[in-house]
Amino acid sequence: PVLVVDFGAQYAQLIARRVREADVYSEIVPHSITAEEVRAKDPVGIVLSGGPSSVYAEGAPRLDPEILELGVPTFGICYGFQVMAAQLGGEVARTGNREYGSTAVTVGDAGSLLAGQPDAQTVWMSHGDAVAKAPEGFEVLASTVDTPVAAFEDRDRRMAGVQWHPEVRHSEHGQRVLESFLHDIAGIDRDWRTGNVIEEQVARIREQVGDSKVICGLSGGVDSAVAAALVHRAVGDQLTCIFVDHGLLRQDEREQVEQDYVASTGVRLVTVDAREQFLTALAGVTDPETKRKIIGREFIRAFEAAERDLAAEAAAEGEPIRWLVQGTLYPDVVESGGGAGTANIKSHHNVGGLPDDLQFELIEPLRALFKDEVRAIGRELGLPEVIVGRQPFPGPGLGIRIIGEVTEDRLDTLRRADAIARAELTAAGLDGEIWQCPVVLLADVRSVGVQGDGRTYGHPIVLRPVSSEDAMTADWTRLPYDVLARISNRITNEVEEVNRVVLDVTSKPPGTIEWE
């Protein structure tokens, strides 16, 4: 793999994704990794990420100096660039000038890293200190007004670095810079393909599972759908999927799972109709955290009831259920401290996920993958686009998008408004621009309106379109006015209870993506 050394900013995951977009497998490791541990992983390259520290600050993260002596091609980004400079005998100065945001760089001698690229580029910077002198053997490739050494490389040692963040989309040619390092300087082949993942995983799962039975909870979302399809390809009808319809789903979602998904994969599916159970448990509840807890609890109850039935059936057939499939992704693994490849990795559970004490062993075929890779695999497995292309949808579903008590009527109102918003966004070709667009019903708010000749007193609907890379931060998406107008007209015309549509123009932070 290429090891992405995490110096503590949020950028390591993004870098790891960009490396994979260059068709090279990547793994995130902590900066405390030793040269010995690096050698054991036998990396073809190392990328040092950015980080929030100053290399001079007390306790600032450094790299085991021997790592830079291993002969592994290494690329430094931002803080990682300064760490390289400082540890290889260059100089890092406290300039006192902060460069933050879009910055112009001037390319001098382009070297291999910036070869064929424009002499002037706009890139994304975020730093206080700056490299004042490149280490011996390094050529300086670019500069900015405030930073004399903004990029360098040492062809012989196959090392390079940039002060800016090539992994963010705001940096022009950023991906090209990364690819120049990976392919031209480090000479790494493009051999990371999602097709290979399918073959490898199918073989692995077959061996792991043998003849025993497997269950999987389907949420209707991408991750569990792809995980189950992979396992099904490996072990066929030894797998049974359980789908809990908690009544908090969006329009047509149950049918998409029961019909489209089953038709394209052939999985055995058990649907639990728990709509009444959830509505009863949620009656009278308005507090968001209480709602989430109730939904989580009822979900587990419904799932376990179905699971017990299946277990009894399996036991009668003499092959007990031993395995549980989970759609855990790499970001979940990294966030629960597993990025280091250490033991004792916690499984990530969403609200609406499953308890830890189920008596099964876990199969997590997606735990090395990012979301976009999971989608690609889903498409290769022939899953329907309505599922593979689906936006993130929270486990507690529409239950946390009704501000106020959840009732059947309110769910019905929100479902219709949400379906209109989604259909219009798709029709306008905007699905690629937005990360997700929660549609929220302010059920306890009423406002006065006028329609036809009459006064109305209805509820507002909030549109919350956001753009994001990972949901940790987000900005509100500047949707075209005509699309907003169409959504608003249709919702107020077609959904009787709604007489006003408003737009949420809050970034995250301070707002979260969901309203509850």
Q: Which residues are annotated as a binding site for ATP?
A: 219-225
| Nearest distance, CB of residue 496 and ligand XMP, angstroms | 27
Question: From residue 418 to residue 437, what is the string marking binding to ligand XMP with x (rule CB under 6 A)?
Answer: ------------------x-
State which residue, 365 or 394, has the beta carbon closest to ligand XMP: 394
Q: Is 170 a catalytic residue?
A: no
State which residue, 220 or 384, has the beta carbon closest to ligand XMP: 220
E strand residue ranges, 278-418: 321-325, 361-363, 402-403
Window 146 to 175, contacts with ligand XMP (CB under 6 A)? none
| Nearest distance, CB of residue 19 and ligand XMP, angstroms | 24
> Of the residues 78, 216, 241, 437, which is catalytic?
78
Task: Give the pair of three-digit tokens for residue 255.
Answer: 């049918």
State which residue, 336 or 350, has the beta carbon closest to ligand XMP: 350
Total residues in contact with ligand XMP, by rule CB under 6 A: 13
* Distance (Å) of CA 15 to CA 6, 275, 333, 516: 10, 42, 16, 31
Residue 513, interface with ligand XMP (CB under 6 A)? yes
Quick check: 105 and 150 in contact, CB under 8 A? yes
Quick check: 143 and 129 in contact, CB under 8 A? no
Window 336 to 395, contacts with ligand XMP (CB under 6 A)? 350-352, 392, 394-395
Window 31 to 70, contacts with ligand XMP (CB under 6 A)? none
**∠99-101-103 over CA atoms, to 5°?**
70
State which residue, 136 or 356, has the beta carbon closest to ligand XMP: 356
| Nearest distance, CB of residue 516 and ligand XMP, angstroms | 8
State which residue, 234 or 440, has the beta carbon closest to ligand XMP: 440
Burial 157-186 (b: 16+ CB within 10 A, else e): bbbbbbbbbbbbeebbbbebbbbbbbebbb
Q: Is 167 a catalytic residue?
A: yes
Q: Is 232 a catalytic residue?
A: no
| Nearest distance, CB of residue 436 and ligand XMP, angstroms | 6
| Nearest distance, CB of residue 471 and ligand XMP, angstroms | 4
Beta bridge partners of 463: 439, 503
d(CA 124, CA 171): 5
Residue 103, interface with ligand XMP (CB under 6 A)? no
Shortest CA distance to 426 belongs to which of 436, 440, 413? 436
Q: Which of 70, 471, 483, 502 binds ligand XMP (CB under 6 A)?
A: 471
d(CA 82, CA 69): 17
| Residue whose tokens read 């690819």 | 179
509 prior amide bond cis, ω within 30: yes
Residue 506, interface with ligand XMP (CB under 6 A)? no
Reported for 314-321, long-range contacts at CB under 8 A and 24+ positions apart, including other chains, are 314/213, 319/211, 319/212, 319/213, 319/238, 320/212, 320/213, 321/212, 321/213, 321/214, 321/215, 321/360
> Of the residues 31, 127, 153, 165, which is catalytic?
165
Shortest CA distance to 463 belongs to which of 442, 437, 482, 493? 437
d(CA 434, CA 355): 32
Q: Which of 122, 208, 212, 512 binds ligand XMP (CB under 6 A)?
A: 512
| Nearest distance, CB of residue 435 and ligand XMP, angstroms | 7
* Distance (Å) of CA 257 to CA 198, 253, 384, 414, 417: 22, 6, 9, 20, 21
State which residue, 191 or 289, has the beta carbon closest to ligand XMP: 289
State which residue, 338 or 395, has the beta carbon closest to ligand XMP: 395
510 prior amide bond cis, ω within 30: yes
Q: Which stretch binds ligand XMP (CB under 6 A): 51-59, 261-269, 327-335, 508-516?
A: 508-516
| Nearest distance, CB of residue 230 and ligand XMP, angstroms | 20
Residue 514, interface with ligand XMP (CB under 6 A)? yes
> Would you list which residues are annotated within the binding site?
219-225
Give the β-pairing of 466-467 and 321-325.
unpaired
Residue 467, interface with ligand XMP (CB under 6 A)? no
Name the residues that contact ligand XMP, by CB under 6 A. Answer: 350-352, 392, 394-396, 436, 471, 508, 512-514
Residues involved in catalysis: 78, 165, 167
